[in-house]
Amino acid sequence: MKRVALFLSIFSLTLLSHASSSNITQKWKLVWEDEFNATTGSPIDSKKWSAEIGGSGWGNNELQYYTDRPINSFQSEGFLNIKMLKEQFTGLKNVTRDYTSARLITKKTFTTTYGRIEARIKVPQGQGIWPAFWMLGNDIDKVGWPRCGEIDIMENIGKEPSMIHGTVHGPGYSGAKGITSSYSLKEKKFADDFHVFAVEWEPDAIRFYCDDAHYKTITPRDLPPGTKWVYDHPHFILLNVAVGGNWPGKPDATTTFPQTMLVDYVRVYERVP
């Protein structure tokens, strides 16, 4: 009887999984993806991603130096690995940092306006660790930040192991004034397993999801008076893990290295008419 019950349970879960997948494909059409299925040890796919380089603090007093080295970002066993190391590293302009990591972007290869943007990720953990899956407006070099717009699909900081944040930043509502919400697992940690983080971005709404739980919708009505909705033009995708910074604080004696963020896939869908 136990085997029968187990079979029925697995069969039911399979049906639910297929139903969920079918629901997505009925509403949305896949237009871009990276499944990270290259041979183990392969670098990132340069036709889809490029690595930003630097250790200037990135506007947040971060402590890492982002490199394009395969030791900090590579594919392995079907996953993208973004690996943080505690090491003294000297990069461009003789900037020396005590940590290295990676910040990957699709700025030169892919942008999208609207759609469902999702990734299945297992975040790293520890005080001062700051993983993120997010988007920036492709006009950032012309108009600057935050006028370009920023959509943070998922951010997690190590001192909040059971919570993720979804946020938008624009002119007049950026930084600590960004329009934000959070989603909590309560008794579990995000670093314990993979989770699917997504937004459904449409002309007048951005909906935030964690494992298909819809936890926030942001619309132009949520903006401060006199400010502008800047999410009506192409954005590119970013994946990175910062070390330290104004928000997460510094690593401490409890933080272990190396730490790795694993990304199973990134997928972008467009709405089916």
User: Which residues on adjacent β-strands are paired with residue 265?
Assistant: 120
Specify whether the CB–CB gap between 49 and 35 falls below 8 A.
no
Report the C-alpha gap between 126 and 144 in whole angstroms.
32
CA angle, 163 then 167 then 168, to 5°: 175
Report the C-alpha gap between 246 and 168 in whole angstroms.
18
Neighbours of 243 (CB within 10 A): 28
Q: Which of 35, 62, 77, 155 is an active site residue?
A: 155
77 given a catalytic annotation: no
Positions of E strands within the chain? 28-34, 50-52, 64-66, 73-76, 79-90, 96-101, 103-105, 115-122, 129-137, 150-155, 163-169, 179-184, 195-202, 205-210, 213-218, 235-243, 259-271
Specify whether the CB–CB gap between 168 and 153 falls below 8 A.
no
User: Which residues on adjacent β-strands are paired with residue 216?
Assistant: 208
Phi/psi class of residue 95: alpha, beta or left (left: φ > 0; alpha: ψ in -120 to 50)? beta
Neighbours of 257 (CB within 10 A): 16
202 given a catalytic annotation: no
User: Quick one: tokens of 227?
Assistant: 């400010």
Give Cβ neighbours of residue 113 (< 8 Å, ≥ 6 apart): 232, 233, 234, 235
Q: Which of 35, 62, 87, 150 is an active site residue?
A: 150
Q: Which residues have a catalytic role annotated?
A: 150, 155
